[in-house]
Chain A
Amino acid sequence: MQEILFWVIALLTSVSAIATVVTQNIVRAATWLLFALAGTSGIFFLLGADLVGAIQLLVYVGGTLVLVVFGVMLTAQGPFINMKTSGAEYAVSTIVGATLMTVLVLAALSLRKPADEQYTLSEEYRLGVPLAEGSGTLGDPRHPLVKYAPKERLIKLKLEREEVKRSFKEKIEKATSEETQAELIEERDRALGRLAYEDRMHTLAAYAPTDRLVKLTPQRLKVVRDYKKKIEDAPSAEAKAELAEERDLALRRVTNREAATSPYTMAIGQGLLGRPVGPAHVEVVDGVRKVTRTHYLFPFEIVSVHLLVVLIGAAYLARAKRRKTQSPLIAGGPEARP
């Protein structure tokens, strides 16, 4: 349904945008522009970017467009201003428009599809918070992601874990020798570990909002592995803690570097194509995890540039050649009306 709404709004917006360009009457063009801008803000609302949508309306519809029409009413010499566009003007505007369009299309097409990617629970993904290995499974209510998972699911997993424990308990009790018992215990722990891993990998990751997840890129994986060995080899608990801290710092550096070059910084154009935009941009500043949602700002900026062009054009038109149409009251006859 959201897609249908998107296509309807997008279609109306595009049609109005084209009409803005094609129509020759300035105020009619402003009216079409109203629909184009309102449609754009509609898309912002559809994407859940309420603030930008409202700003779009307030600034452009309430401010700019009113000012455009106000300017026309103040400067008009005939009742309805029409304009003829010369070939050079067409050429200039086509170049400007095509440039903007190219930027937009390139931005949109240079993206991978976050929509497909973000829910793929491949090995690449690891719960981002906390990064320390082994800490926090579903059994641990302090895990920062537990609150996102539905209760039934949590209970089900708990039951599964108990089921494993029970089945192994019987086997262990029936075991003949101590060796098989030890083997069975090891097997049970492995199964439990696998379950715990699945908890983290699938349940928590599936239900947690994507901005709480950190993708384990090769660089991050390398850091984690390097330090894992070092920490294991460390002689004392203090040294281990120190190393863990060092590791977190290194991870932060990697995160910041990735943030600068992340494909998701460019994910912003996709909103215009109706794709759900990727996970929010996770950045670690001074040890604080910050989520910046910048995706929709790019189309907003594009529209702003577009508006700037329109404004300059309007200012130009206000004093440029106009085809004066005399009022039919003066010229006589409705056929003089544009």
Chain B
Amino acid sequence: MAPPLFAIFSTPYWPYLLAIIAAAVLIGFMLVSAVFSVWLERKVAGRIQDRLGPTRVGGKFGWLQTLADGIKLLCKEDIIPNDADHFLFRLGPYIALAGSFMAFVALPFGNGVVAQEMNIAIFYMLAIMSTEVFGIILIGYGSGSKWSLFGGMREAAQMVSYEIPMAICVIVPIVVSGTMNLNRMAMQQSGGIWNWYIFHDPFTFAAFWTYFTCAMASCKRAPFDLAEAESELVAGFHTEYSGFRWLVIFMAEYGAMFAVSGIAVLLFLGGWSTGIPWELSEAPGFLGILGNIVNVVVFIFKGWFLVFIMMWVRWTLPRLRIDQVMMMCLKYLIPISCVLLVGVSLWQVAMPEIVVVHFHWVLFAVSMVCLLMLIVRFAKMSSPPPGTAMPGMWMMTDLPGYQGAQRKT
């Protein structure tokens, strides 16, 4: 076994103090991750939609933007509408944040780097994240505003529906690995990219995309962000919130985004394993600890990459209608996930062993070839000649913060 970085937690000395330290580290990570994600969200939105994004605060890339936002939100007047249920209005955000944060307790960041290793880690995470939904619903209900109520109702309907295909998709790699222990699952996938469960068989490959779609919906991300559809509901469930509580809601949302991405990474994308044929954390002694730190970094980057893809999708696709969202889940995602579950079970039971053992090479090769072709195609794509005026914000040269190309007249 590798020397687990946090093996110290299993020793009898000061376990409670160390538990508090672990919680502090996790909440610190969650908050820093949220701060980074908010900044990234704006930058990604800017790039994808041909806008500038944050440029004015903090010099290079506007990296202090979120901090400035945070200070603004902290200084903002905290308004509770007269019509709201004060108790629920105050409570809701914290329930959401707690649900989102508790999920991190079972998330292994590296080989054994987990606050509480559980045999049923993945199940626990799904269970605890359903608490966040309840918080959001309370927020929507307790605000005493019809916009919030609609947002909360949509959230409830969406969540109750999307939990089903999400959970079924989670079972698909569990069928393959035979464990619900996330750390062990990541361990099984170490030793090369081709070992990742996404390449294991066609069903896990499809399950990854299905899971990721459901995960996006469960995080209320566009195109499934009906709960906060600003074109219809002002701001949806958090219409009445301002200041610190609003901040807490968004911490919870970005925390949940990283958590579901972390689950996707651990289930399908090799978890904390680096994807090279050697497992770094198994190296002897101090090197093993260094390797484990590399694992942690790799895991965090994988998670952030999936969060980035969520942003990419959000700023590319238009929002669905609520009936389309429900139809997508009930008519497509649930049948698909059921087929995947049956398929992967049959694959494990009925396929000749030689196929089961070696199929991942085929899938890995095909995916890599497809990826390569895609990259080549993008590289060959003719870009517009320099100086061509494309419609966009950057045409307005008199805007503050303008840095782009000259407008061609």
Contact = CB atoms under 8 A, between A and B. Distances in A.
A239 interface: no
Contacts of A329: 83
Contacts of B144: 79-80
Contacts of B83: 79, 327-329, 337
B126 A58 contact: yes
A50 B137 contact: no
A50 B127 CA distance: 11
B280 to A, nearest CB: 29
A66 B88 contact: no
Given A27-B88, A27-B142, A50-B119, A61 B82 contact: no
Nearest to B16: A1
Interface string B303-316: 00000000000000
A237 interface: no
B21 to A, nearest CB: 16
Interface in A33-54: 34, 38, 50-51, 53-54
A27 B89 CA distance: 12
B134 A65 contact: yes
A315 to B, nearest CB: 17
B287 interface: no
Interface stretch (B67-75, B148-156, B253-261, B355-363): B148-156
A79 B82 CA distance: 12
A34 B87 CA distance: 14
Q: In which size bucket is the chain A interface?
A: 20 to 34
Which of B82, B120, B127, B152 has the largest number of chain A CB atoms within 10 A? B127
Interface string A51-82: 10111011001110111011011100001100
Nearest to B142: A27
Contacts of B120: 50-51, 54
Interface in B80-96: 82-83, 85, 87-88, 91, 95
B45 interface: no
B176 interface: no
A67 B160 contact: yes
A28 B123 contact: no
A1 to B, nearest CB: 6
Given A66-B133, A67-B160, A79-B144, A337 B152 contact: no
Contact of A54 (B82, B88, B91, B124): B124
A24 interface: no
Contact of A34 (B16, B134, B141, B163): B134
B107 interface: no
Contacts of A50: 118-120, 124
Given A51-B123, A66-B137, A73 B160 contact: no
Contact of A69 (B119, B124, B134): B134
A93 interface: no
A1 B95 CA distance: 26
Contacts of A62: 127, 130-131, 133-134, 163
A55 B123 CA distance: 8
B137 A334 contact: no
Interface residues of B, number: 34
A55 B124 CA distance: 8
Contacts of B133: 62, 66
A31 interface: yes
Given A38-B131, A54-B127, A57-B127, A74 B138 contact: no
A31 B86 CA distance: 13
A25 interface: yes
Which of B16, B118, B134, B152 has the largest number of chain A CB atoms within 10 A? B134
B137 A69 contact: yes
Main secondary structure of the interface of B (DSSP, over half): helix
Interface string A297-338: 000000000000000000000000000000111000010010
A61 B127 CA distance: 8
Contacts of B157: 70
Contacts of A74: 153
Nearest to B99: A61
Contact of A28 (B87, B156, B159): B87
Contacts of B82: 328, 334, 337
Given A27-B141, A66-B133, A80 B153 contact: no
A294 B134 CA distance: 30
B131 A70 contact: no
Nearest to A25: B85
A31 B88 contact: yes
B128 interface: yes
B130 A66 contact: yes
B95 A57 contact: no
A79 B148 CA distance: 12
A213 B128 CA distance: 36
Nearest to A58: B127
Contact of A31 (B119, B138, B156): B138
A237 B19 CA distance: 59
A54 B121 CA distance: 9
Contacts of A65: 134
Interface in B156-172: 156-157, 159-160, 163
Interface string B195-210: 0000000000000000
29 contacts: A27-B88, A28-B87, A31-B87, A31-B91, A34-B95, A50-B118, A51-B120, A54-B120, A54-B127, A55-B127, A57-B127, A58-B130, A61-B127, A61-B134, A62-B163, A63-B160, A65-B134, A66-B130, A66-B133, A66-B156, A67-B160, A69-B134, A70-B157, A70-B160, A73-B152, A73-B153, A79-B83, A79-B144, A334-B82
The 9 closest A-B pairs by CB, nearest first: A62-B130, A58-B127, A57-B127, A54-B127, A70-B156, A54-B124, A334-B82, A54-B123, A73-B153
